[in-house]
Amino acid sequence: MFDLSIVLNFFLSIVILAGIYSLGRLHETLKSYANSFGSEYGKIEALTNKLSEVSKQQETLTKITETVKHDIEHKSWTLKEEISLKPKKLEEFVIEYMKDQDNRHLHRDRVFNDQHERLDQSTHIRLKMLIYLYLPELQSEYTRYERAYRQFLKWSADSRALSIASTRSQKTKVKESIKKSYGNLDDDFSQIQHDIFVISNNIANKLKNQKIY
């Protein structure tokens, strides 16, 4: 007698095996797809990171370029300003120097004649400002000038004190002593002035030969 249950069990076994096989194939397909997707995703992520890095490098390069451009423009502007402004300041310095010399000579003569008035130092202060702001090339010579100027101030103060302390009968000798103590200050100032004017002339010639681009 034909046993139907055996047949059904047989077909059921086939269906189950087929299902297991199909699930296995599906698993392999999904695994392959996942691996492929993961590989592609990794490539995309790597490319994205690379593009991000390139973008940052480009941004940095742009900033550096702008900085260099700004520095060049600033230096160009500074050069133009120096060429246009420095000759005026150099001329102003020479004029103020001559005024300062006149003030010193006037004060010297007054001290010789026992007229102890305050020395006008306004031009001396302007000279110092011009050197500091515009003419550093003259700093060395101006330092020598400052040293001689301090000696001049000391001589003036000592002469005043000596004159005040002297009696009428001593005035003539005191004047001679004051003139003698003045020593070679005029020679020192003359040499410094010569050196300053030589360097000033060199600066003027250099500025004249410079071009503004």
pTM recorded for the entire structure: 0.59
| Each residue's pLDDT expressed in tens, for the chain with a length of 213 residues | 445 556 556 656 665 666 666 666 656 665 665 565 556 555 566 556 655 765 666 677 577 666 655 555 555 556 566 667 888 898 999 999 999 999 999 999 999 888 878 888 989 899 999 999 999 989 999 999 999 999 999 999 998 888 888 877 787 888 888 888 888 888 899 999 999 989 988 888 887 776 554
Structural contact between residues 100 and 127, judged by C-beta atoms closer than 8 angstroms: yes
Residue 183's SS3 state is coil
Contacts of 196 (CB under 8 A, 6+ apart): 97, 138, 141, 142, 145
Q: What value, to the nearest 5°, has the Cα angle with vertex 97 and ends 87 and 107?
A: 165
Q: Provide the 10 A C-beta neighbour count for residue 149.
A: 22
